[in-house]
Chain A
Amino acid sequence: MKKISFVFVLMMAVCMLFTACGGKNGDDTEAAQPTEAPQISEDLGNELDSFSDEVIDADLTCTITLGNWPPDTAAASELALFEGYKATMEKQYPNVTLVPDYYSYSLSNYVPMAKGGTAPSIFQPPFTDPQLLISQNLVGDVTDALKEIGVLDKFSPSYIEMLADDNGRIYGLPRDGYVLGMHINVALFREAGLVDENGLPIYPKSLQELAEYGQIIREKTDKAGLVFPASETYGGWLFTNIAWNFGCVGESALEYQDENGRWICNFTSPECIAAMEYMRDLRWKYDILNADTTTTDWAGAHSELGTGEAAMNFAADDSVDQPTSNKGLALEDFALIPFPEGPAGRYALAGGTCYMFSPDITADQGRALMAYLKILGKLPFLDDDIVAGMRSDYAAKKDRGAPVLPAISAWNDDEYNKTKRAIIDEYCNVDMRLYNDFFDSISEGTITLKAEEPVFAQQLYRELTAVIQRMITREGADVVKALTSAQESFQEYLDDEINN
């Protein structure tokens, strides 16, 4: 008994010791308390110093919790950047208390927090979720705060559609937009001989070329031509892009509303069947896919490309830091190209990340949050602080070795967009010849941008992912049968959720 008591007391002592040593920083749910001044470049230091210290509103009194605060393990430049924003806000609005929070949004963790009143005042969901959150009353209305600060009329209409309810009340702001294209590992293209006389990659312009080039890469380098994350909902998400290029738009769309307003699932159109057959061929005819396709997720796909295990990845301009600064692919070995054209056109998904707000924010908190976003340079204003904010942002990107690229603006404001582009050009750290075709395809309109499928996109992706998994794991799988089964299942879901 004595021995047991001794061991018990010893264990308690050790646990208490670790608890004491751990402090608050050990807990993700606690407010972030960075302890040391991070080491940053002179360039970034100068930009941070250039924020105005003048008091703007001493009467505004409230507390706001800032989700997505960078973790202590983040790059020094990023930590310094956010500390700089916080310090500026505290000087300009001395009675606004800022509480940094490491919170990173996911639908599953957000709902209980919103219902329990512990959600951060501001957080960043992807554009797939705002309508769901708005319909469930889980986010705060910032229409009045936006009107007060004067940016309501500068919203790009397509973004308003995504961030407002049926009455036109706004619940979020675009953080950045993205367009899906392809990430290229130029080193593997070079090894396969797919480069021109200037050393630039000869990349696939069409889905057919993608299959053929992938095959050449497989033969010459023994690496995967294409990494395709076909797990959970990712496979279906990417597949919708392929399907659009095979003609699954308009009357042949994957889902549409009939004349009675009923939502119809349409996976068995000839276009969708052809797109799925193409997916099957990528595995069984051309054999260009990575090995564990069905378990690869978004991060895994970036990792495969960044570490040279695959040559191409369907990915967007907002994730160019993933294979490069995160996985070590040299900037000269990385390129971003437009989404390849299909037999029925050239489409690519346009989406992005937005800022949304906790459901219980007050009018004062709304004002303070807009002021904070203004300092971050996320609102279409052009004063010294905004320009300093933009410069700091791009200096930080450059510091950590991520490509500094032109941004796809969510604001209809020419002057703002031009100034932003000029700053980006100043900090640009890449050979733009590796990116120009991508950005030109958007600005010249040679590619048609599309939003995600309109209703229950996640469920639709899940159904399609299951079909893709069947196609790429069973050689003799019946495309029509699998798509028919998925269609029945998703139609049942639509009938349950929206048609009845």
Chain B
Amino acid sequence: MNRITRHFRGKGMKMQDLRSWLIMLPGLILMTFFVWEPLLESIRMSLYKTENVELVEFVGLKNFISVAGKTNFTQALVNTFSYTFWSLVIGFLLPIILAMLIGETSRGKGLFRTAAYLPNMLPGLAVIILWSAFFSGGKTGVLNIILSHFGVSAQTYLTKANLVIPIIITIATWKGAGATALIYMAGMAGVNSELYDAAAIDGANVWQRVRHVLVPAIKKLTWTMLILQIISVFQIMYEPMVLTKGGPDNASLSLMQLMWQYAFGGSMDYGKASAVAVIVTAILLVMTAVYSYFNRKESDWD
């Protein structure tokens, strides 16, 4: 053993390092096979003309040019940013508020915590089907039934281009906000209670305690959650696919759904589908890099 240790020490690697690498090895193998290899393959495929999953001819950036030049791409790109915008408007602050409210609750905290998390335990498709019954047009839609008691005539919701994205984001928020709130609660639990006490002694009210103690304490976590939310919403697919099928008139078509259409929507064009996937990855990489840059800058200022 000593000889091995000496050997690794001689090569600049400690026994502890070897153990760490061995622990990581299964994860690395899985990542290689299920993440990195498909990712690289997708990039390679985007540069080729394909015949089902086989590469036929190297075409350089032709797939990218062809995809980006189409109106449905522009629409999907705008829609995807619109999803992101609405997710920030509707779904960004809600989990923080939920976490604060549950955190401030003195009785039945567990009950509220469970209730908030419950929608996240439902299968995604079941949630969409549930809400599609709620927003269904005509007289059998749940929302229309409720509104009819207030004298409002039956409306359609999922056929209105300006409503579909906010509706889809509302549904996604309903499902996911509870889980995000739990993460915020964990973050808030780590805030030193003495800081609250000190602020209270100094005469700070609830709002001032939140603003001057809580917010700075969870700022880093909030930034992380923000970028995770953007990445997640940018890849939205099954919600519009099931609820509106990308309609009406592509008003809810997302980039990932466009990718699905290229691959499985009848044309089996995996090259173009990969091109869309690479574009989405590139946009997310740029956004993450911008986030990291500002995050680092802020850390330096701190």
Contacts and interface: CB of A to CB of B under 8 A. Distances in A.
Interface of A: 106-108, 111-112, 114-115, 128, 132, 136-138, 222, 224, 230-233, 290-295, 297, 309, 456-459, 462, 465-467, 469-470, 472-474, 485, 489, 492, 496-497
B242 to A, nearest CB: 9
B268 A132 contact: yes
Given A136-B52, A295-B132, A295-B158, 19 more contacts: A106-B264, A111-B268, A115-B52, A231-B244, A232-B265, A233-B265, A233-B266, A290-B138, A292-B156, A294-B248, A295-B243, A297-B245, A456-B267, A458-B266, A467-B249, A469-B249, A473-B159, A492-B69, A497-B267
Given A469-B249, A470-B249, A111 B71 contact: no
A294 B261 contact: no
Interface of B is mostly: loop
Contacts of A231: 244-245, 247
A133 to B, nearest CB: 9
A409 B194 CA distance: 84
Contact of A294 (B154, B244, B266): B244
A122 to B, nearest CB: 20
Nearest to A458: B266
Interface of B: 51-53, 66, 69-72, 132, 136-141, 154, 156, 158-161, 243-250, 261, 263-268
Contacts of B268: 107, 111, 132, 136
13 contacts: A107-B266, A107-B268, A108-B264, A291-B141, A293-B159, A295-B159, A456-B267, A466-B247, A466-B249, A466-B250, A469-B247, A472-B159, A496-B66
Contacts of B246: 232
A106 B263 CA distance: 12
A458 B265 CA distance: 8
A489 B74 CA distance: 13
Contacts of A297: 245
A222 B246 CA distance: 29
B136 A473 contact: no
Contacts of B156: 291-292
Closest 7 CB pairs of A and B: A458-B266, A291-B137, A108-B264, A291-B138, A294-B248, A469-B248, A470-B249
Contacts of A138: 52
A400 B247 CA distance: 36
A287 to B, nearest CB: 12
A396 B25 CA distance: 56
B244 A295 contact: yes
Nearest to B241: A232
Contacts of A489: 70-72
A128 B141 CA distance: 34
B73 to A, nearest CB: 10
Nearest to B272: A496
Contacts of B267: 456, 458-459, 497
A295 B263 CA distance: 21
A108 B263 contact: yes
Contacts of B265: 232-233, 458, 462
B216 to A, nearest CB: 31
A192 B160 CA distance: 30
A138 B268 CA distance: 12
A467 B53 CA distance: 31
Contact of B136 (A115, A291, A294): A291
Residue in A107, A291, A492 whose Cβ sees the most chain B Cβ within 10 Å:
A291
Nearest to B53: A115
Contacts of A293: 159
A233 to B, nearest CB: 7
A224 B154 CA distance: 13
Contacts of A114: 52
A107 B265 CA distance: 8
A309 B138 contact: yes
A245 B136 CA distance: 32
Contacts of B132: 295
A115 B270 CA distance: 14
Nearest to A290: B138
Contacts of B161: 473-474
A233 B51 CA distance: 23
Nearest to B51: A136
A220 B292 CA distance: 63
Residue in B138, B141, B160 whose Cβ sees the most chain A Cβ within 10 Å:
B138
B131 to A, nearest CB: 12
B252 to A, nearest CB: 10
A33 to B, nearest CB: 25
A163 B36 CA distance: 40
A223 to B, nearest CB: 9
Given A136-B52, A292-B136, A462 B266 contact: yes
A471 to B, nearest CB: 9
Contacts of B264: 106-108, 111
B123 to A, nearest CB: 16
Contacts of A292: 136-138, 156, 158-159
Contacts of B137: 291-292
B287 to A, nearest CB: 29
A465 B72 CA distance: 13
A489 B139 CA distance: 37
A218 to B, nearest CB: 12
Contacts of A222: 139
A457 B268 CA distance: 13
Contacts of A132: 266, 268
B70 A492 contact: yes
A132 B71 CA distance: 25
A56 B281 CA distance: 59
Contacts of B71: 485, 489
A473 B266 contact: no
Nearest to B63: A496
Nearest to B266: A458
B58 to A, nearest CB: 16
